């Protein structure tokens, strides 16, 4: 598996502001992904974060709203920009090694007021 | 793109009974099918997975079966215990560097 940490674990933010979430892995990984999980719902992929190239976004998610950085093989950030109450959710990063398995970080619980 | 359907959405069983959760997928190119368990307030945890070159895989009380022709796979939990109570998600991907597509989840309650 992998040891994955996320910062912050939770935050309460005002609408119109931005929050950057960090994801750190204990060893190099090929792929990192960002998901959103709204209360009582499943996981929805936001984007795939590739090291050395721009992130690949899923339908309904755009770079201006969710800019992502992947400066190296152990770290990524997701920014939630110009937040509204609809952005209140849990944001999770996941990592994939050479094999197929994906492991999740502990998540960041975001509340927008 | 891939679409994963999961049933049932909720499942209650008596302790010691078996539980079965079923998923179907749409893209015949998918070849990797993991199952995650998510307890309240915690991250999804990979509990078992299967690849398309295998029809069944077992790990103690849990097993997964795959029918590629019908494009469905199932999670079987035997001798259920209260600590099995959680939300279970199935997922599918084409493996390699492709992301997972998740089902909507099944809330399993094991009644002591």
Phi and psi at residue B82, to the nearest 5° = -55, -35
Per-residue model confidence as pLDDT tens digits over B66-111: 999 999 999 999 999 999 999 999 999 998 778 999 999 999 999 9
Residue A3 CB: number of other CB atoms within 10 A? 11
Q: Which residues of B touch A96 (CB under 8 A)?
A: 97
Q: CA-CA distance, A13 to A22, in Å (whole number)?
A: 16
What confidence score (pLDDT) does residue B29 get? 93
How far is A77 from A20, CA to CA, in rounded Å?
Answer: 6
Averaged pLDDT for residues B11-37: 97
Judge whether A10 is closer than 8 Å to chain B, CB to CB.
Answer: no
pLDDT value at position A97? 75
Half-sphere exposure for B17 (CA within 13 Å, toward CB): 13
Query: Distances from the Cα of B23 to the Cαs of B7, B66, B82, in angstroms?
Result: 6, 10, 23
Q: Tell which wins on pLDDT, A98 or A8.
A: A8
Contact check, Cβ <8 Å, B44/A45: no
d(C-alpha B26, C-alpha A28), whole Å:
32
Does B43 contact A105 at a Cβ distance shorter than 8 Å? Answer: yes
A56: tokens are 């690949």
* A43:B102 CB<8 A: yes
Tens of pLDDT, residues A15-71: 999 999 999 999 998 889 999 999 999 999 999 998 878 899 999 999 999 999 999
């Amino acid at each position: 598996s992998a040891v994955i940490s996320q910062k912050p674990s939770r935050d309460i933010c005002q609408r119109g502001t931005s929050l950057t979430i960090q994801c750190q892995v204990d060893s190099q990984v090929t792929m990192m992904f960002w998901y959103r999980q709204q209360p009582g719902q499943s996981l929805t992929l936001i984007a795939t974060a590739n090291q050395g190239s721009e992130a690949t976004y899923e339908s309904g998610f755009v770079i201006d709203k969710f800019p992502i950085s992947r400066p190296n093989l152990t770290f990524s950030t997701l920014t939630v920009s110009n937040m509204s109450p609809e952005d209140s959710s849990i944001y999770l990063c996941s990592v994939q090694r050479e094999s197929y398995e994906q492991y999740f970080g502990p998540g960041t619980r975001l509340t927008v007021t | 793109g891939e679409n994963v359907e999961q049933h049932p959405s909720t499942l209650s069983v008596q302790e010691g009974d078996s539980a079965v959760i079923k998923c179907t997928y749409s893209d015949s190119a998918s070849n990797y099918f993991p199952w995650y368990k998510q307890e309240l307030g915690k991250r999804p945890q990979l509990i078992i997975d299967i690849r398309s070159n295998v029809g069944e895989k077992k790990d103690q009380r849990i097993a997964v079966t795959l029918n590629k022709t019908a494009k469905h796979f199932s999670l079987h939990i035997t001798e259920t215990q209260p600590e099995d109570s959680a939300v279970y998600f199935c997922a599918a991907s084409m493996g390699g560097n492709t992301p997972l597509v998740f089902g909507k989840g099944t809330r399993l309650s094991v009644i002591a």
